[in-house]
Chains A and B, each alone.
Chain A
Amino acid sequence: MSLPPFQRFLDDHRDLVWRYLAATVGPTEADDCFQETFVAALKAYERLPEGSNLRAWVLTIAQRKALDHFRARGRRAVPVGEVPETGYDDPPPGEDPVWARVRALPAKQRAALTLRYAGNLTHAEVAVALGCSEEAARRSAHEGLKKLRLELHA
């Protein structure tokens, strides 16, 4: 099976990528990351081996773009003493408030949780996306969930 035309790849994955990015960087910032994700995907598309897992591949790119976004935001921020790794913003209306808390988690936990639950990847696919072992991906997701539970039940 050869690669589908890029337009079809875009149409088939736009909902997933949007949902993943809305959870990861928030709905207002999702569009920039969405555009950057598919620009990078278009550039690399032809070199993709046939039979690749397109869903895991595009979420791997989206994950990197989300990370770039958090880094850029970190650089723009004015230091004010002790701050969490990323800011905790109020969730936009209509969103499960848990995602705003997910965005405030440390980078690895955030990435593992969003890929697993917003991107619906398996732990093995998350591991490929993050360049770590499956065990490490599982651990990051587990630690993230544990932290969320503590916060929510506090």
Chain B
Amino acid sequence: MTTDRPTLPPAEPDAAAAAAARFAERFGARAEVGYAVLDSPVGRLVVAGTRRGLARVAYADFHGGVDAVLDELAAALSPRILEDRARMAGIARELDEYFAGRRTAFDVRLDWGLTKGFGQRILQATARIPFGATSTYRGVAAGAGNERAVRAAGNALGANPLPIVVPCHRVLRTGGSLGGYTGGVDRKLRLLALEGVLLDAG
């Protein structure tokens, strides 16, 4: 030590990263929102939940990446967000089973906090469509109590914060054509194929 002032201690990126990982593992449960990034046959998924239940399933690529999904959750729910694989273990297992063809309904509790009003009722009507069956925009609008609100149904389904688990892929256009999908229509086709749904041409 020949200079006048202390020089910075050596950076220890590995030690710091390990300490941060220990922190998330030990104290993740204290965060308002816990999340995990999962690999699936339909791409990387960000799943996030609160104490009340699963609040968000997002296709990472379709929603601007993991960081963009976390930014959206910070603004809409709480910035107190930590990676918490333990909290997300239940939905991770159920999704694995679903994609392996061993599960036809999800049992995890849901937090509907990212939905509201009529849109929420549309999505709750959608959640009642069984595995392997389909409905229409008019059908879920009727299920929500207003069969004329077809456009509102389309908007609510397009903004579904819980795709796959709330099966908006099972909602088709009247007449049987595919309609749109949050995550892209390729994924809608893939999920319907997994459930054994045969679509009419067109």
Where the two chains meet, the residues of A that have a C-beta atom closer than 8 Å to any C-beta of B are: 2-8, 10-11, 14-15, 17-19, 22-23, 27, 30-31, 34-35, 38-39, 42-43, 45-46, 94-99, 102, 113, 117-118, 120, 145, 148-149, 152
Given contacts A34-B19, A117-B5, is CB(A8)–CB(B67) below 8 Å?
yes
Chain A residues with CB under 8 Å of B22's CB are 31, 35
Interface centre among A2, A23, A38, A149 (most CB of B within 10 A): A38
Contact between chains at A18 and B16 (CB < 8 Å): yes
Contact between chains at A35 and B26 (CB < 8 Å): yes
Fill in one digit per residue for B1-39: 1 if any A CB lies within 8 Å of its CB, else 0. 100111111111101110110111011001110010000
Contact between chains at B19 and A145 (CB < 8 Å): no
Chain A residues with CB under 8 Å of B70's CB are 5, 7-8
Contact between chains at A10 and B24 (CB < 8 Å): yes
Q: For the complex formed, measure the closest distance between the CB of B82 and the CB atoms of chain A, giving whole angstroms.
A: 5
Fill in one digit per residue for B87-123: 1 if any A CB lies within 8 Å of its CB, else 0. 0000000000000000000000000000000000000
Indicate if B79 sits at the interface (CB-CB under 8 A).
Answer: yes
Chain A residues with CB under 8 Å of B147's CB are none
Indicate if B133 sits at the interface (CB-CB under 8 A).
Answer: no
Chain B residues with CB under 8 Å of A8's CB are 67, 70
Given contacts A35-B19, A35-B22, A42-B30, is CB(A5)–CB(B10) below 8 Å?
no
Interface SS majority for chain A: helix
Contact between chains at A96 and B23 (CB < 8 Å): no
Q: For the complex formed, measure the closest distance between the CB of B85 and the CB atoms of chain A, giving whole angstroms.
A: 12
Complex: A145 Cα to B7 Cα, angstroms: 12
Chain A residues with CB under 8 Å of B31's CB are 6, 42
Contact between chains at B5 and A145 (CB < 8 Å): yes
Interface centre among B8, B11, B16, B30 (most CB of A within 10 A): B16
Complex: A4 Cα to B83 Cα, angstroms: 14
Chain A residues with CB under 8 Å of B78's CB are 46
Given contacts A19-B16, A34-B23, is CB(A113)–CB(B6) below 8 Å?
yes
